[in-house]
Amino acid sequence: MTDMPIDPSVIESDNAERSTGFEADFAALGEQLERCGVAIDTIVKAVRDFTVAVPSWGVGTGGTRFARFPGPGEPRGIMEKLDDCAVIHQLGRSTPSVSLHIPWDRTDPAALKDKAQSLKLSFDAMNSNTFQDHPDDPKQPLSYKFGSLSHADEAVRRQAVEHNLDVIEFGQAIGSTAITVWIGDGSNFPGQVDLLRSFERYLESAKAIYGALPEDWRIFTEHKMYEPAFYSTIVQDWGTNLLIAQELGPKAYCLVDLGHHAPNVNIEQIVSRLIFARKLGGFHFNDSKYGDDDLDTGSIDPFRLFLVFNELIEAGEALERLDPAHMIDQSHNVTDPIESLIRSADEIRRAYAQALLVDRVALREYQDANDPMMASECLKQAFRTDVTSILAKARIMDGGAIDPIAAYRASGYRKKVAIERPEVKGGGGGIV
């Protein structure tokens, strides 16, 4: 007996309809890759092994500063969020773990663990939250309006540190081994805070959290250029973030959120530098046109995503030692969040598969021969390869759907939960 939310017969019949076309595409791609000396099965195997965590906050509809437009059947709490995460994994087979956000997802950890087990899910990095106030939490009576870990008032800093320690304790109870700390601290006006002293205060607080990390845990810090502070942000770029990770010690790593950069910043180069410094902790995947738009991964600039993965593959063994965490961090404002997360996980695997196809021996030769045209073409050739049937093959082999969004729509899941879950007003949008 299974608690899986989608009836397997729905996946089977949808796959049956598509199997002839899929088999033809896969065979053709196999022949195409063979001519380049690539065995398609090795790429399929690598793709099957590549997983990414979904954010619990991503299965609810997000919002902007203007409004939030909730969709039907929104999950009303963490247990229903896990049901939705299980749908995404059952169909896509690439998202076996969930990243939780405390206090939004706080509940009895034993019940949470049981629920996850019944859905064949596990828990990825924990996320603390000191970027908003928690009036219902007796342990957090003080306001974070003017910051948390870098706040001028020592009592607020202590409260924020304690919250992070609580999150670690909660995470230990459900089998997590990492905490991601992103804070909104900063200033809106020149002169509002002392740039040096506030950073020193931040470091002191971060060291207190680091000191309480369990033996097998890692701490990820995430930089962000602006918002909610619009003049200065305490961890504003990867340079500051690297400083922090180096100050804290060997269990501290830098997280790269793809949306947290100025437009046109060379993110893949930042990734390369962090690999060099042995401080790349992982990613928050999303896409961005202007700022921290939190759009679906690969929906705006799939080439940039590919170039990030190209750096990861290029790093080889150095990357294996770092074992970076892969997490999605998005806000779904106008789509069904389940569909957006299915598509995003697929786009991440697509970029990974394409990066695996780069002829690295040839690329190095072109680079060393100062042949920019052929070096560029070498990357573009891999990027232009349509690996859709490889992604489908990986899903089929693990019991997923050839076309997971089509199977999801055929399942009627959203209609069903819309009846079971009456609309609730309000609720956290959750853009981190």
Nearer to Mn ion, 224 or 393 (CB): 224
C-beta separation of 183 from 128 below 8 A: no
The nearest distance, CB 180 to Mn ion, in angstroms, is 8
Give the nearest distance from C-beta 261 to Mn ion in angstroms.
12
Nearer to Mn ion, 38 or 305 (CB): 305
Per-residue three-class SS string for 7-35: CHHHHHHHHHHHHHHHHHHHHHHHHHHHH
**Least Cβ distance, residue 431 to Mn ion (angstroms):** 9
Rounded to the nearest whole angstrom, what is the least distance from the CB of residue 123 to Mn ion in the complex?
17
Measured from the CB of residue 260, what is the shortest distance to Mn ion in angstroms? 7
Task: Indicate the residue among 124 and 329 with the shorter CB distance to Mn ion.
Answer: 329
- Specify burial of residue 326 (Cβ count, 10 A radius: 0-12, 13-18, 19+): buried
H helices then E strands: how many in the chain? Answer: 16, 11
**Pairing verdict, β 218-222 and 122-123:** unpaired
Distance (Å, whole) CA 115 – CA 125 = 18
Which residues are at the interface with Mn ion (CB under 5 A)? 257, 284, 329, 432
- Amino acid at the residue 48: R
Please identify, using beta-carbon distances, which residue of 118 and 236 lies nearer to Mn ion: 236
Handedness of CA 362, 363, 367, 372 (dihedral sign): positive
What's the closest the beta carbon of residue 253 comes to Mn ion, in angstroms? Answer: 14
- CB-based contacts of 298: which residues, under 8 Å, 6+ apart? 287, 305, 343, 344, 347, 348, 350, 351
Q: What is the dihedral of CA 3, 8, 10, 11, to 10 degrees?
A: 120
Q: What tokens appear for 307 in the block?
A: 């170039």
Q: Is 26 or 283 the residue whose CB approaches Mn ion more closely?
A: 283
Q: Answer for the pair 310, 39: CB distance below 8 angstroms, yes or no.
A: no
Question: In this structure, how many other beta carbons lie within 10 angstroms of the beta carbon of residue 323?
Answer: 11
C-alpha distance from residue 221 to each of 167, 242, 254, 393 (Å): 15, 9, 5, 35
Q: Closest distance between Mn ion and the C-beta of residue 206, in Å?
A: 17
- Cα distances (Å, whole numbers) of residue 44 to 26, 118, 419: 11, 28, 39
- Is 11:92 a contact under the CB 8 Å cutoff? no
**106 C-beta neighbours (distance < 10 Å), count:** 16
Residue 82 in 3-state DSSP?
helix
**Whose Cβ is closer to Mn ion: residue 129's or residue 389's?**
129
Separation between Cα atoms, residue 265 and residue 269, nearest integer Å: 9
Cβ proximity to Mn ion: between 90 and 97 the closer is 97
Q: How far is the CB of 182 from Mn ion (least distance, A)?
A: 6
- Rank residues 101 and 284 by Cβ distance to Mn ion and give the closer one: 284
Residues with Cβ within 8 Å of residue 373, at least 6 apart in sequence: none
In whole angstroms, the minimum distance from the beta carbon of 360 to Mn ion comes to 30
Tell me whether residue 170 or residue 182 sits nearer to Mn ion (CB atom). 182
CB 286, min distance to Mn ion, A = 7
Q: Name the one residue in this structure whose structure tokens are 């309480």.
A: 212
From the CB of 21, what's the least distance to Mn ion, in Å?
37
Compare residues 183 and 375 and give the one whose CB is closer to Mn ion.
Answer: 183
